[in-house]
Amino acid sequence: MYHDAHVYIHIIKRRVRWLRGALRNLDQGASYIAQDNPKAAAKLVCHLRDSALLPGGQPNLGRPGRIPGTRELVLSNIPYILPYRVRNDTVEILRVFHTARQWPPKGNEHG
């Protein structure tokens, strides 16, 4: 006989905070794309901002980062990576970078 089973999952929603470097990367990338296609730039920004909310509900969602203490959200449908770290109840978006770029920058391999 089948019985309904109720499974309760407690999800702690963390605040997502964009650090200055990430906002600067986002602005630079969008500005570059907007030179040729403003609609594509706006769509990219919306997609990246929406994607950045994911670790707020699942902080271990991204792969282990290349810098100790970080994780990296690899976006499957666009060639971007969002490195982030979790501090207490906050997920901090550290950068936004295209997969063709080097991360971390040379000389900054240890954060």
Asked if residue 40 belongs to a domain, the reply is yes
Looking at the DSSP bridge assignments, the partners of residue 71 are: 64, 84
3-state secondary structure of 90: strand
42: CATH: 3.30.2310.20
Mean pLDDT, rounded, for 54-83: 93
Asked if residue 3 belongs to a domain, the reply is no
Asked if residue 103 belongs to a domain, the reply is no
Whole-model pTM over 0.85: no
Q: Which domain holds residue 23?
A: 15-98
Looking at the DSSP bridge assignments, the partners of residue 97 are: 81
Asked if residue 2 belongs to a domain, the reply is no
In sequence order, which ranges of 9-66 are alpha helices (DSSP H)? 20-34, 38-52, 54-57
Taking only the tens place, the pLDDT of each residue in 8-38 is 555 568 899 999 999 999 999 999 999 999 9
Q: Which residue has the higher pLDDT, 8 or 73?
A: 73
- Count how many domains the chain has: 1
Is residue 59 scored above 80 in pLDDT? Answer: yes
Asked if residue 10 belongs to a domain, the reply is no
Looking at the DSSP bridge assignments, the partners of residue 81 are: 74, 97
Asked if residue 21 belongs to a domain, the reply is yes
3-state secondary structure of 85: strand
Task: Identify the pLDDT of residue 85.
Answer: 96
